[in-house]
A and B are shown apart, each in its own frame.
Chain A
Amino acid sequence: MLLQCNRQGSGSTEGPRARKRLLHPLPPRAVGSFVAAIAILLTASVRADDAAARSLLTKAVLSTNVNEQVELIGRLAETESNLVPTVINAWREGSVFVHEAPDGQKIPFLRNDGKARRIDDGTLIEASETNPVETTSKVRRAMKSALDVLTISGADPQDRRAAISKLGMTQNAAYLPIFEARLAAEKDPSVLATLHEAIAITRLAGTDSAAKIAAIEYLAKNRVIRSHDNLKKLTGDPDAAVAASATKAVSSMEGYLRVVEVWGTLFRGLSLGSILLVAALGLAITFGLMGVINMAHGEIIVVGAYTTYLVQNIFGAGAFLPFFGLNLNIPGFHFGGAFYESYFLFAIPISFLVAALVGIALERGIIRFLYSRPLESLLATWGVSLVMQQLFRLIFGANNVQVYSPSWLSGNFTISDVLLGWNRLFVIGFAIAIVLLVWLLLTRTPLGLLIRAVMQNRDMASCMGVRTERVNMLTFGLGSGLAGLAGAFLSQLGNVGPGLGQSYIVDCFMTVVVGGVGNLVGTIYSALGIGVVDQALQPFLGPVMGKITVLAAIILFLQWKPGGLFPTRSRSLEG
């Protein structure tokens, strides 16, 4: 009985392991599947033009004349065989060899993961180790363009466009027939447009003046920015008509470029301003409304960022946190795919809550004793920020941690040549949403009413029976929670490290002071304004000088308007 039980027990523990072994007879390696793919390509492909490709490749590998090799490789594209990219890539990587048979015949073969296959018929071959067939840079260039030409007729429209525009930029007239042949077969409208552009750009380098002028006009009309340099070269063309038309095209193109540049700067500036806004909005509440100088605001932002990191890890492989000898091991859910990608949606409210709790703890523990002494609250919270920074270092390490952007946040798209990143667009939308929510909270809820009352006149509100202590706590929690949201956000845009908060704290204070302390609307204007000015200055001055200039400009601005953009009016002398 006991024995049986035991056996059953051991059997059940053995079971999964054995099944696992069955599932993975070999360690799963990407290389293995790659070899399998090659094997299928080399043997099972039944397309008729494969034979032609094989013979061309064999000739090219065995040829000793570089020019002949280039010519043979150029003809490979016509075969449209799937074999070509595989063999050519192997050749470029040094996996193509030549076997010398006993009868003196030279057989080129391709070796991958210990198996050797003949290039001329795809069968396996017993071959000894030799030096790989070398390539010169000229041959490698020919290989690249052969691959590009092949891609033009490939299945993926994205790849087709990339290959077409690349070949077009070479302005090599030899590709014109290929483009024109493709023009008839192509169905995808965006690829068709790219084809027309490539043909026009290639024709610019031709000799026919009428064709050149037509091409110039086409490029100018369709505002093909890529052709700007090519057009510029043509302004010195010996044919006066061509030169005149090119000059006109260049000037119209440059005007268009300026417009694109302005919109691009505006967009980048708005997104930078939105980041500043999200980061400074919390401070506008704690500093502007409550009058508390919270130097640990930056660290509360970092709390939000690290919370996002933890949520990501809990959705993934789990996290391991060393903490004063206590090792905290958080198991992960190992979600994959779309659910893992959606971790960020969960991270947003969680970062808000965690940061708000940290803020409330800070308010209850320290700040509430210092409401009447603002300079000292500054110093005490700076002490807190030091402690928190060091704690981050001890828990998460001094290095930056990696937070992966979900795929729906990375990537970008263009609207008439202005590059718009999804993450930047998301930042702007998010900032708008947060501002709206805060505005609703402050003006349309009972809590908002209490907050405004307490911030306007604490004593009077207290006399009216408002529990000011509690309102202070909640207000500070709200401000800190907003900082946490900013942190969740910054984690998507850059690295998360213990010093992240320090790089934002001065900017945040500047934003609030410029906007006018105690005025949330002012903070919005000043954040967006600072963002746009910063982005507009960066191309001329570089990022660091741009930032210094903005700081100096702010100091001078405060000379002119000491109360900021929207000073709070008050009859109080000290106000």
Chain B
Amino acid sequence: MAGSEVRRLEVWGITIAAVVVLGVLPALNVLLPETNPLHVSDFTINLYGKYLTYAVLAIGVDVLWGFTGLLSLGQCLFFALGGYAFGMYLMLKIGKLGQYKSDLPDFMVFLGYNKLPAHWVPFNSFWFALAAVVLVPGIVALVFGYLAFRSRIRGVYFSILTQALTYGACLMFFRNDFTFGGNNGLTDFKFILNYDVNSAATQRTLYMLSGFLLLGSYVFSRWLTTTKFGKVQRAIRDSENRVLFSGYATSNFKLFVFVYAAVISGLAGALYTPQVGIINPSEMSPEKSLEAVVWVAVGGRGTLIGPIIGSVGVNALKSWATRAYPDLWLIILGGLFVLIVLFMPKGIVGIPGQIRDLRKRFQRRESPVPVPAQGATSPSAE
């Protein structure tokens, strides 16, 4: 009963949020003059656009962690790969407008290349870049996932291995001779399909696209949970061996989810790059992936609305705290994380349920029936 009520609430909430994000905010940005207090500035649109791509990333983490029990600590790798694939297209679109007035991207001139490396050439095409945004993260996830799930790497081992994967990739991308711009990454974009990247209209379009991507991945993930596939997925989370013994090839299910999460993360990365204006290897550092896990944990894993609330909420907090208390931000983030894990395992979304439980326990204690004291008092190791 409570479940269906929550679900109805969630549907309403998402609908309202979608209308606000995709309709009201852009309308306020375009239609109202800048002097109007209700006007939404270009800066805000850009900032929210970034949050929306983060929310897609968080949904990817949650589909893996909250619904399948696979805690990936390398999800940002796929985000960054998508971002790099699209960034390569944007780099080539700069043309001769760069610092060195060369056809080659600036960093290549700087590093003494005479010719575009072969793997860069196809990225002159927008459609190829778009395909790469989906395929590169997808194929990396497919290969890594196949290897990992085939040898039944699970639980914390999976987490540690994904972390090692993103760490290795991060080190590789930091190298100048890896032809992706070294630690500066790709930046200074000018055009996207002949539109000026930095114009308000382009940024607004990118914002809208991020919103649609988020809505799309939410709806698809939501639909997935209602199917039989979704049931098996959650069964794997709860007891993989039972599912295995029931005759399901769990590794195929996990592989599909892993690739799906990688693909939506890659698409989010591709939208992130032109909105932020830079993509560099620090986007795939292990800390970033852990940060994405924090968003999901804060919002509430195992729900689809949780990651969205968490990513937007934590990032809004970050934007504020890094300006107001730059020294304390990491302490706030870390502390928040410890508190959430210890006291709010279901995140923000779980707060009403926790309050309800507390109230029940309170009422029971007042009732004359004695309660076994052990379970209630010590959440101990055993």
**Which residues of A approach B to under 8 Å, CB–CB?**
293, 366, 368-372, 374-376, 378-380, 382-391, 393-394, 458-459, 462, 468-469, 472, 502, 506, 509-510, 513, 544-545, 547-548, 551-552, 554-556, 558-560, 562, 573-574
Contact at A375–B381, with CB atoms within 8 Å?
no
A379 in contact with B341 given A506-B163, A506-B167 (CB within 8 Å): yes
**Chain B: CB-nearest residue to A552:** B168
Contact at A368–B338, with CB atoms within 8 Å?
no
Contact at A544–B171, with CB atoms within 8 Å?
yes
Contact at B380–A368, with CB atoms within 8 Å?
yes
The complex places the Cα of A47 from the Cα of B156 at a distance, in Å, of 79
Please, could you name 18 A-B residue pairs with CB atoms under 8 Å apart, sorted by A? A293-B160, A369-B342, A374-B155, A376-B345, A380-B337, A383-B333, A386-B331, A387-B334, A388-B334, A472-B381, A513-B157, A544-B172, A545-B175, A547-B171, A554-B164, A558-B157, A559-B150, A574-B241
**Is B251 located at the chain interface by the 8 A CB criterion?**
no
Contact at B152–A383, with CB atoms within 8 Å?
no
**Is B335 located at the chain interface by the 8 A CB criterion?**
yes
When distances are taken between beta carbons in the complex, the residues of chain A under 8 Å from B160 are: 293, 509-510, 513
When distances are taken between beta carbons in the complex, the residues of chain B under 8 Å from A458 are: 381-382
**Is B151 located at the chain interface by the 8 A CB criterion?**
yes
When distances are taken between beta carbons in the complex, the residues of chain A under 8 Å from B342 are: 366, 369-370, 380
Contact at B168–A548, with CB atoms within 8 Å?
yes
Q: Which 5 A-B pairs have the closest CB atoms?
A: A383-B337, A386-B334, A387-B334, A390-B330, A371-B381
Contact at B380–A469, with CB atoms within 8 Å?
yes
When distances are taken between beta carbons in the complex, the residues of chain B under 8 Å from A390 are: 327-331, 334
**Is B336 located at the chain interface by the 8 A CB criterion?**
yes
The complex places the Cα of A281 from the Cα of B171 at a distance, in Å, of 25
Residue of A372, A386, A547 touching B330 (CB-CB under 8 A): A386
The complex places the Cα of A552 from the Cα of B169 at a distance, in Å, of 10
Chain B contacts with A in 137-151, Cβ cutoff 8 A = 144, 147, 150-151
Contact at B152–A506, with CB atoms within 8 Å?
no
**Chain A: CB-nearest residue to B158:** A375
Contact at B338–A384, with CB atoms within 8 Å?
yes
The complex places the Cα of A301 from the Cα of B153 at a distance, in Å, of 28
The complex places the Cα of A384 from the Cα of B329 at a distance, in Å, of 13
| Min C-beta distance of A88 to chain B, whole Å | 44
Contact at B155–A376, with CB atoms within 8 Å?
no
A391 in contact with B381 given A374-B156, A382-B337 (CB within 8 Å): no
When distances are taken between beta carbons in the complex, the residues of chain A under 8 Å from B278 are: none
When distances are taken between beta carbons in the complex, the residues of chain B under 8 Å from A369 are: 342, 379-380
The complex places the Cα of A167 from the Cα of B341 at a distance, in Å, of 69
The complex places the Cα of A573 from the Cα of B154 at a distance, in Å, of 13
Told that A384-B334, A555-B164 touch, could you supply 8 new A-B pairs with CB distance under 8 A?
Answer: A380-B342, A386-B334, A386-B337, A387-B334, A391-B331, A506-B164, A509-B160, A560-B151
A389 in contact with B380 given A376-B345, A551-B164, A573-B241 (CB within 8 Å): no
**Is B81 located at the chain interface by the 8 A CB criterion?**
no
Contact at A555–B286, with CB atoms within 8 Å?
no
Contact at B380–A376, with CB atoms within 8 Å?
no
**Is B85 located at the chain interface by the 8 A CB criterion?**
no
Contact at A378–B334, with CB atoms within 8 Å?
no
When distances are taken between beta carbons in the complex, the residues of chain A under 8 Å from B161 are: 513, 555, 558
Contact at A379–B337, with CB atoms within 8 Å?
yes
The complex places the Cα of A573 from the Cα of B152 at a distance, in Å, of 13
| Min C-beta distance of A286 to chain B, whole Å | 13
When distances are taken between beta carbons in the complex, the residues of chain B under 8 Å from A506 are: 163-164, 167, 286
Interface of A is mostly: helix
| Min C-beta distance of B326 to chain A, whole Å | 10
When distances are taken between beta carbons in the complex, the residues of chain B under 8 Å from A459 are: 382
Interface string of B123-149 (1 = CB under 8 A from A): 000000000000000000000100100
**Is B165 located at the chain interface by the 8 A CB criterion?**
yes
Contact at B381–A372, with CB atoms within 8 Å?
yes
**Is B290 located at the chain interface by the 8 A CB criterion?**
yes
Residue of B153, B172, B241, B341 touching A562 (CB-CB under 8 A): B153
Contact at A555–B147, with CB atoms within 8 Å?
yes
A562 in contact with B151 given A368-B381, A506-B163 (CB within 8 Å): yes
When distances are taken between beta carbons in the complex, the residues of chain B under 8 Å from A462 are: 382
The complex places the Cα of A459 from the Cα of B381 at a distance, in Å, of 10
When distances are taken between beta carbons in the complex, the residues of chain B under 8 Å from A376 are: 341, 345
Chain B contacts with A in 199-239, Cβ cutoff 8 A = none
When distances are taken between beta carbons in the complex, the residues of chain B under 8 Å from A544 are: 171-172, 174-175
Residue of A383, A389, A509, A562 touching B336 (CB-CB under 8 A): A383
When distances are taken between beta carbons in the complex, the residues of chain A under 8 Å from B305 are: none
A383 in contact with B156 given A369-B379, A458-B381 (CB within 8 Å): no
**Chain B: CB-nearest residue to A468:** B381
When distances are taken between beta carbons in the complex, the residues of chain B under 8 Å from A510 are: 160, 164
**Is B198 located at the chain interface by the 8 A CB criterion?**
no
Chain B contacts with A in 260-300, Cβ cutoff 8 A = 286-287, 290, 293-294, 297
Interface string of B365-382 (1 = CB under 8 A from A): 000000000000001111
The complex places the Cα of A551 from the Cα of B382 at a distance, in Å, of 36
When distances are taken between beta carbons in the complex, the residues of chain A under 8 Å from B168 are: 547-548, 551-552
The complex places the Cα of A374 from the Cα of B329 at a distance, in Å, of 26
A383 in contact with B328 given A510-B164, A513-B160, A544-B175 (CB within 8 Å): no
| Min C-beta distance of B341 to chain A, whole Å | 4
When distances are taken between beta carbons in the complex, the residues of chain B under 8 Å from A552 are: 168
Residue of A374, A375, A554, A559 touching B151 (CB-CB under 8 A): A559
Contact at A366–B155, with CB atoms within 8 Å?
no
The complex places the Cα of A292 from the Cα of B333 at a distance, in Å, of 22
**Is B179 located at the chain interface by the 8 A CB criterion?**
no
When distances are taken between beta carbons in the complex, the residues of chain A under 8 Å from B151 are: 558-560, 562
The complex places the Cα of A1 from the Cα of B151 at a distance, in Å, of 94
When distances are taken between beta carbons in the complex, the residues of chain B under 8 Å from A368 are: 380-381
| Min C-beta distance of B378 to chain A, whole Å | 9
Interface string of B77-100 (1 = CB under 8 A from A): 000000000000000000000000
When distances are taken between beta carbons in the complex, the residues of chain B under 8 Å from A378 are: 71, 156, 159
**Chain B: CB-nearest residue to A550:** B168
| Min C-beta distance of A522 to chain B, whole Å | 14
When distances are taken between beta carbons in the complex, the residues of chain A under 8 Å from B330 are: 386-387, 389-390
Interface string of B59-71 (1 = CB under 8 A from A): 0000000000001
When distances are taken between beta carbons in the complex, the residues of chain B under 8 Å from A385 are: 334
When distances are taken between beta carbons in the complex, the residues of chain B under 8 Å from A548 are: 168, 171-172
| Min C-beta distance of A300 to chain B, whole Å | 15
Interface string of B183-207 (1 = CB under 8 A from A): 0000000000000000000000000
Residue of B152, B157, B175, B290 touching A382 (CB-CB under 8 A): B290
| Min C-beta distance of B315 to chain A, whole Å | 16
When distances are taken between beta carbons in the complex, the residues of chain A under 8 Å from B155 are: 374-375
When distances are taken between beta carbons in the complex, the residues of chain A under 8 Å from B334 are: 382-388, 390
When distances are taken between beta carbons in the complex, the residues of chain B under 8 Å from A379 are: 290, 293-294, 297, 337, 341
| Min C-beta distance of A547 to chain B, whole Å | 6
The complex places the Cα of A390 from the Cα of B336 at a distance, in Å, of 14
When distances are taken between beta carbons in the complex, the residues of chain A under 8 Å from B156 are: 293, 374-375, 378
The complex places the Cα of A450 from the Cα of B297 at a distance, in Å, of 36
When distances are taken between beta carbons in the complex, the residues of chain B under 8 Å from A468 are: 381-382
When distances are taken between beta carbons in the complex, the residues of chain B under 8 Å from A472 are: 381
The complex places the Cα of A559 from the Cα of B146 at a distance, in Å, of 10
When distances are taken between beta carbons in the complex, the residues of chain A under 8 Å from B333 are: 383, 386
Chain B CB within 10 Å — which of A378, A468, A469, A544 has the most? Answer: A378
